[in-house]
Structure 1
Amino acid sequence: MKRNATAVWKGSLKEGKGVLTTQSKTLENTQYSFHSRFEEGVGTNPEELVAAAHSGCFTMQLSAYITEAGFEIESIETKCVINLLEGTIKESNLTVNAKIEGISDAAFQELVTKAEHNCPISKLFNTTITTSATLI
């Protein structure tokens, strides 16, 4: 399976602007710029998209492990914060809140760690990945 996205940029780094389009067209000519990346401008940015990818991938992997372990999932919510420092993504911090029927905290934490290490986006990173998980 292969997925793709396209970036088009026009102009210099600080004054220029770009658009991103994904294969699915979920993002279609979505604006990004220096201002949306390093300040508070309108549009998205690569780190926000990486955070979305990591939180989505991790959550799906965790749901697979929980289901495989025989538990029923009411909900899993994962927030990912990407820490960009001096031009390098230094960390990806995942915060998980989950409602799972009948699972112990110890079993849940074990599955969270397993998902953290095995989701495809986690495997892609050459960075520190941390996870904080709470059963509700």
Structure 2
Amino acid sequence: MPLTRIHYTNMLKRRASAVWKGGLQEGTGTMSSFSGALDNTAYSFKTRLVSEDGKAGTNPEELLAAAHAGCYAMATSATMAQAGFTPDELSVAATLTLDTDTLSVTAVDLQIKGKVPGMTAEQFEEVAENAAKMCVISRALNPSIQVTKTATLEN
């Protein structure tokens, strides 16, 4: 059976959906993604502004932080490849700050740790800095949002 060539265009589209029922404070909702990674995942006012345990569902800001962490890890790996390195492991924690008075994202702090054979701490810092500028989610955020990062090489 011949291999089928996959044609990609220059414009990728990613789909997700949300359903909300009720008023803001007492209402509940679900979010789903086309890939199935989210499948009627619960969210509510309480999971957005009150609950930090995550047991009652997620919230848009948590998902944005997760997307930023994933994007930054991939961007760092790509930047390392350009410098001739392949990481054994990159671990990223993203902390998104939401001002609950204005409902504005005011900052994202990226903490990256890496195990990269042959790489110095200085090289890791430079790659991490360049990757922060290359990350699609970093670029998608409002330029007035402060995106910071900390890079730690664990060799």
If the length of structure 1 is used for normalisation, what is the TM-score?
0.97
* Secondary structure in structure 2 of the residue aligned to 1:35: helix
Q: Cα deviation per residue 1:60-93 (whole Å; 9 max; x = unaligned)?
A: 0000111221113110000000000131000010
If the length of structure 2 is used for normalisation, what is the TM-score?
0.85
Shift of 1:130: 0.3
Specify the alignment match of 1:70 in structure 2: 84
Letter in 2 for 1:44: T
CA RMSD, 1 decimal: 0.9
Say which of 129, 137, 144 aligns to 1:121: 137
Matches within 5 A, 1:45-64: 45-64=59-78
Matches within 5 A, 1:1-136: 1-40=12-51, 42-85=56-99, 86=101, 87-126=103-142, 127-136=145-154
* Secondary structure in structure 1 of the residue aligned to 2:107: strand
Identity of aligned residues (%): 40
* Secondary structure in structure 2 of the residue aligned to 1:83: strand
Higher strand share: 1
Shift of 1:6: 0.3
Segments of 5+ residues of structure 1 without an aligned counterpart are: none
Shift of 1:39: 1.0
Larger Rg: 2
Count residues in correspondence: 136
* Secondary structure in structure 1 of the residue aligned to 2:139: helix
Letter in 1 for 2:152: T
Q: Cα deviation per residue 1:45-71 (whole Å; 9 max; x = unaligned)?
A: 001000010000010000011122111
Segments of 5+ residues of structure 2 without an aligned counterpart are: 1-11
Q: Cα deviation per residue 1:75-134 (whole Å; 9 max; x = unaligned)?
A: 000000000013100001000110001111111111101111111100001111000110
Query: Which 4+ runs in 1 deviate beyond 2 A?
Result: none
